[in-house]
Amino acid sequence: MPLLDELPEAAAAPVTPARAGAPRAVHENLRRIFTEAPAAIAILRAPDFRYELSNERNDWLAGGKRLEGLTIREALPELEAQGLVALLEQVCATGQPFYAQALPVQVRQADGHFKQLYLNGTYQPFTGEDGRVQGVIAFAYEVTDQVLARQRAEAAEASTALVANSVPQIIWTAGEAGQADFVNQRWYEYTGLSREEPFEAGRLRAMHPDDAAGAEAEWTRCLAAGRPYEGELRLRRGSDGSYRWHLVRCHPLQDATGRVVRWVGSSTDIDDRKREEEDSRFLAETSALLGAALDVQATLKTLAERAVPRLADWCLVDLVDGAEGAPRRLALANADPARVAEAEAFSRTHPLVPSASAGVMAVLRSGRAELYPEVTDALLGAVARDEVHLQALRAVGVCSVMVVPLTLRARTFGALTFVSLQNPRGSGRRFAARDLALAQALADRTAVAVENARLYRDAQAAVQLRDDFLSVAAHELRTPLTPLQLGLQSLQRSARRGLPPEQLDEKLGTLGRQVGRLERLVSSLLDVSRISEGRLALEPRELDLGAVARDVAERFAEQAAQLGSTLSVEGEASAPVHADPLRMDQVVVNLVSNALKFGEGRPVQLHLSQDASTVELRVRDEGLGIAPEDQERIFGRYERAVPSRHYGGLGLGLWLSRQLVEAMGGSIAVQSAPGQGATFRVRLPRATAP
């Protein structure tokens, strides 16, 4: 309110001749009022505006000068440049008063410095008996302290607003009733809402529908109780329309009596932190489940089911069978079991395209993850087998895809595919880099879990194989020992009776064969140990593989005859190779022994051939034959083509043969079919040119 309103009417009214002729007592009273008033009062006579009266307060404001008798230009020349003299002239010329609020005035002090003052007041014209303006009555209150305080408050408020508008958080303040009176710039930048829209209405529109009711109810309770508000809710980000988690806090400010007079609130985007916490928890829980699954199929099923719908609408797992095998889909998950059946049928009718330039096949070749935030028609074309496949892919409604490799020790053996579908068939989610990082972390853990499951399976198989081997080995070692023991007992009885030499030789020959069989069994076991530990020593030299074949055939001729079979050596008479004689003999013995064992008494042929660089030995029988799926397996350690209860042996002969042949730079393989016998081919480098 202007301080002029507080002036007495006598001081504010124009001075007339009647008033000038007032009694002296009245004049003295007025002078006392002028002199002792807390306001600055002065009477300036036109035209040069000489001070006829200036009270102490006015003199003090003028720097302590005595102003009476001096013109304004003489007393305060600095005021002319500030326009105050012109204002006096204007008041006199127009006869209209001038009112001022917080008028800035600089007055020179006694020490020569200028003092900044702020004044509320008026220039009131007074007239003479002729009604003409004679001068001006100046009336003013100093409000410098108030103005400076207000300026400091405004500066502090501006500084606070500047800080509030600079921070990444959303900041607002509200009155006692909770109505917002300030919202920082971040609110509008984040939500994309208009400044014209009230904060309360915009706040409700920005909140996730599932969070709004609960948040508003809690805010109402906090207002009523005067207690701080804190909660987590989702706000819609205007730039992309996504809802992100925020930590919202609002604290009450209280006066000296404890009454809430204001609220200060903040909203901090914690979506990244919250997602990181959720991702870490998800990975930890999934890792525990994966670690508990000791079967590969169960491991992959667990993974796929954990990924849906946490990470994607669909999760597909493809694993490669063998070093050069095609990928095979081992797991597929969706929240709807009926749709899983549809997808499995789709996978069968539309298999992966080996030459695809994107997707699973590309990731298996490169070992690098692929992220497609938006699935385009061109991408679908890159993975489609044909137009029918392309149309089927379009109908699925895929909108975003991630494919990450399953890699361990620099070997990629599978891929995880995460798929997001367009609404309403799916979430409509678009994968981003952070999703790919989570998917890759999941793939890393899955790769370890799959490897652990495989190791566990192999360990279990090895234990079973060991147990089977020990059982067979015990039987095989016992087999020659029993007749050996019986033969020795018979020989002892015969010696007492004076057995003829020819019968003695026959019995000793039988015993010798059993000892030889026992020796071969022990030697095979020792060879397994040497090869496993890398201690197998070879002494290669040039030898005639034909001579080795003929020698073995001659040694096995009697056994073949006993089985009703025959042994023949055909082909090249001489076949020079560079090999260890003892080990080469061991290989041929193993092959001939197996041919006789499984040949069902039919003929066994050994055939030698050679070209400029290679010598080949073929050992053929006409017996049981070997199924295609077993032809690689039988070269494994302790493996057999038929159950051990039907045919003896440790299951080491072919494994040892392959190890020995490969150590001498050659190869061994089999061609066979059930019921059609088997042909084993040993190929070795020639020792010399033909």
90-117 pLDDT, tens per residue?
999 999 999 999 999 999 988 889 999 9
The structure tokens 């000793």 sit at 508
Could you give the dihedral angle defined by the CA atoms of residues 649, 654, 656 and 658, in that order, rounded to the nearest 10 degrees? Answer: 180
DSSP letter assigned to residue 36:
H
The pLDDT assigned to 508 comes to 67
In the predicted model, is pLDDT for residue 156 greater than 60? yes
pLDDT of 339:
82
- Judgement on whether residues 443 and 307 belong to the same structural domain of the protein: yes
Q: Is 400 exposed, middle or buried (0-12, 13-18, 19+ CB in 10 A)?
A: buried
Residue 477, pLDDT > 60, answer no
Contact partners, residue 197, CB within 8 Å, separation at least 6: none
623: helix, strand or coil: coil
Q: Please name the amino acid found at residue 54.
A: S
Do the domain assignments include residue 481? no
Q: Does residue 215 surpass a pLDDT of 50?
A: yes
Residue 1 has pLDDT above 50, yes or no: no
Can you tell me the mean pLDDT for 265-292? 86
pTM of the complete model: 0.54
Average pLDDT over residues 561-574: 91
Residues 9, 120 within the same domain: yes
Contact between residue 352 and residue 363 where contact means Cβ atoms under 8 Å apart: no
Number of structural domains, the chain?
4
Is residue 620's pLDDT more than 70? yes
Task: For residues 90 and 125, state if they share a domain.
Answer: yes
Pull the structure tokens for residue 61.
Answer: 């404001």
Instruction: Report pLDDT for 2.
Output: 33
Assess whether 374 and 450 both reside in one domain.
yes
Instruction: List the domain range (segments joined by +) for residue 87.
Output: 3-148
- Coil/strand/helix, residue 112: coil
The stretch 146-170 carries a mean pLDDT of 77
Mean local confidence (pLDDT), 237-252: 92
Q: What is the pLDDT of residues 59-85, one digit of tens each?
A: 999 988 899 999 999 999 999 999 999
Encode pLDDT of 323-368 as tens digits.
556 788 888 888 777 788 888 888 887 788 888 888 899 999 999 9
Residue 420 within a domain = yes
Arithmetic mean of pLDDT over the chain: 84
Within-domain flag for 478: no
Reported confidence tier of residue 555, pLDDT bands at 50, 70, 90: confident
Residue 206 lies in a domain: yes
pLDDT value at residue 10: 41
Listed in sequence order, the residues at least 6 apart from 76 whose beta carbon sits closer than 8 Å to its beta carbon are: 62, 65, 67, 107, 108
Close Cβ partners of 598 (under 8 Å, ≥ 6 residues apart): 621, 623, 624, 641, 642, 647, 678
CATH number of the domain that 335 lies in?
3.30.450.40
Give the mean model confidence (pLDDT) for residues 193-211: 90
User: Looking at 435, 458, 481, which one is the last position of a domain?
Assistant: 458
What pLDDT is attached to residue 12? 44
* pLDDT higher than 70, residue 253: yes
Residue 463: pLDDT band (50, 70, 90) is confident
User: 113 vs 105, 107, 110, 118, 199, CA distance in Å?
Assistant: 13, 8, 7, 16, 50
Contacts of 23 (CB under 8 A, 6+ apart): none
Q: What are phi and psi of 99, to 5 degrees?
A: -115, 140
Residue range 197-222: average pLDDT? Answer: 92
Distance CA(379)–CA(128), nearest Å, equals: 99
**Is residue 646 a part of any domain in this protein?**
yes
Task: Find the mean pLDDT for residues 539-560.
Answer: 90
Q: Tell me, what CATH number does 250's domain have?
A: 3.30.450.20
CATH at residue 562: 3.30.565.10
Which domain-ending residue is among 241, 269, 297?
269
- Asked if residues 356 and 362 have their Cβ atoms less than 8 Å apart, the reply is yes
Round to whole Å and give the CA distance between 638 and 491. Answer: 36
Average confidence (pLDDT) over 139-154: 88
My answer on whether 309 and 250 are in the same domain is no
The DSSP H or E segment spanning 262 is strand 260-269
Opening angle at CA 565, ends 560 and 569, nearest 5:
80
Q: How confident is the model over 494-542, as pLDDT tens digits?
A: 666 666 777 666 666 666 665 665 665 566 556 566 666 666 778 889 9
In a domain, 527, yes or no: no
140 with 77, same domain: the answer is yes
Average pLDDT over residues 119-145: 93
* Residue 142 burial (CB count, 10 A): 20
Structure-model confidence comparison of residues 121 and 20, the more confident one: 121
Is 427 or 271 the better-scoring residue by pLDDT? 271
Average pLDDT over residues 155-182: 80
Tens digit of each residue's pLDDT (9 = 90 or more) over 367-422: 999 999 999 989 888 888 888 888 888 888 889 999 999 998 888 989 999 999 88
Percent of the residues in the chain that have a pLDDT greater than 70, as a whole number: 83
Edge to edge, the sheet with strand 314-320 lists: 327-333, 314-320, 411-421, 398-408, 370-372
Residue at token pair 């030459």: 355
Asked if 233 and 300 sit in the same domain, the reply is: no
